[in-house]
Amino acid sequence: MKRLFVVAFVLLSSTLISVPIMVHGQATPGFSYSWRGATYRGNDSFYDPTMSTYVYAYEENTKAILSITVWANSTQQLNVSSVRVSFDWANGIYNGSYADEVISAANLLLIPKAASRPVGISFTVPSTSIAPDINLYLHSYTIIVEHLNATSTPTETTQITNFASDFAIYSADQADSRDLYDRVQTVKVPTAKFNSSKAKMLVYKAENETSTGDVAYTHGDFAGAKAHYNAALVLYNSAYTAEETFSVTDEDVTLNLRSLTVNRTRVEIQLLEAQIKNIESWASMVFSTGITLTLFGVTTMLFGIGYIIKQLAALKKTGQQATTE
């Protein structure tokens, strides 16, 4: 029984491990794609104020790269005769290549069953100088993969397609404003993070510039948005500088107060020591004076006693003389 369990476990493990190997072993051929090197990818308030549309944006006159992976089904070879993307602007059809060779009916891309091949398409994004409004809306495109049922005539062509409308062309100002906006989002910090009143005020101003820039961008004033975002970035940097200066100054004040406290304590100690010395001198003087007065008193008292004894003796002698007479 134990042996059967081990065998079953091994067979199950082998099955699980072999599953990922058949990545493109689908019943039908197909493809996936991704845009590379975009100036920006994400939600854009100009094209969709609700921020619910994901866009792929490239600045005018830059290179756009579309990476496509084409796969065959699990039962037969795929004879690819064309891979291309067709945009909604004039002359907007661009062909794909494999191993630096353009795919065509005369140069088929043969993909073995259950296998895949990468195909690349690159092109220069049109300039707004050719079509001034080309950046004011999202562009649609269709990716087309054509394959033949045979490698020799007669042949039948089958298409696999995918339609999308998420491609944006940025003007230079639009691209710059987007870059500045992203940089502002990187450096912005809530006012609660600052202690300096000056820094807080600078942050408030930066937030206002950012909000104004957002409104300008949404309304298509990309030059204005660029100016406001740049102003916001400068204000945020100034706020950091003000906070740093405030922190250093505050630290210096604290150190100076500590130094003054120490010096004051030292002076007070010196005054107390002087007072103690004065008290000690006064006490010594009083003690010496007391002894002198005491000795003077004793001497005076002895002198008085002697005087009294002398007078008594004189009186006694006078009495005796009177008796004799």
What would the DSSP string read from start to end of 93-158? EEE-EETTEE-BTTB-EEE-TT-EEEEEEEEEPPPTTTSTTTTSSPEEEEEEEEEES-SSSS--EE
Asked whether 47 and 137 are in contact (CB, 8 A), the reply is: yes
pLDDT, tens digit, 9 for 90 and up, residues 122-131: 999 999 998 8
228 compared with 190, residue with greater pLDDT: 228
Predicted confidence at residue 212, as pLDDT, reads 98
* Residue whose C-alpha is closest to residue 38's, from 179, 184, 236, 213: 179
Rounded mean pLDDT of 42-55? 96
pLDDT higher than 50, residue 49? yes
pTM to 2 decimal places: 0.68
Q: Which residues contact 164 (CB under 8 A, 6 or more apart)?
A: 140, 141, 142, 143
| % of residues, the chain, pLDDT over 90 | 62
8 compared with 146, residue with greater pLDDT: 146
Pull the structure tokens for residue 37.
Answer: 């090197």
Residue found under tokens 């939600």 = 43
Asked whether 155 and 149 are in contact (CB, 8 A), the reply is: yes
Rounded mean pLDDT of 39-52? 96
DSSP 72: -
- Give 290's pLDDT tier (boundaries 50, 70, 90): low
170 compared with 283, residue with greater pLDDT: 170
pLDDT, tens digit, 9 for 90 and up, residues 5-31: 433 443 444 433 333 333 445 789 999
pLDDT higher than 60, residue 57? yes
Distance CA 83, CA 98 (A): 10
Query: What is the pLDDT of the chain when averaged over all its residues?
Result: 82
Distance CA 226, CA 236 (A): 15
